[in-house]
């Protein structure tokens, strides 16, 4: 009867966790785009460029609630 090795193989949760410069844990996200858009995104700087654009964007102003039937 052969002995099964309990060594080797991939381990979940192994390795260094991706952290932002602030030390905050970053999570992987999915974005849908065409191959052409993806290539342009990579040329512009990839994920770092996307994060910079999000940080630079202004939040939209909340719209006041409207009364129904007024």
- For 31-67, the pLDDT digits (tens) are 999 999 999 999 999 999 999 999 999 999 988 888 7
CA distance 9 to 65: 56
pLDDT at 1 exceeding the cut of 80: no
Q: What is the pLDDT of residue 51?
A: 92
Q: Is 25 helix (H, G, I), strand (E, B) or coil?
A: strand
Q: Where residue 24 falls among pLDDT bands split at 50, 70, 90?
A: confident
Print burial letters for 58-68: b (CB count within 10 Å at least 16), e (below 16).
eeeeeeeeeee
Q: Taking 70 as the threshold, does the pLDDT of residue 3 lie above it?
A: no
The pTM of the whole model exceeds 0.85: no
| Among the listed residues 17, 14, 16, the one whose alpha carbon sits nearest the alpha carbon of residue 26 | 17
């Amino acid at each position: 009867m052969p002995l099964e090795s309990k060594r080797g193989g991939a381990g979940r949760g192994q390795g260094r966790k991706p952290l932002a410069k602030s030390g905050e844990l970053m999570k992987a996200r999915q974005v849908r785009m065409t191959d052409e858009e993806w290539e342009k995104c990579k040329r512009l700087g990839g994920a770092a460029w996307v994060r910079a654009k999000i940080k630079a964007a202004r939040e939209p102003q909340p719209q006041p609630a409207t009364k129904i039937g007024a």
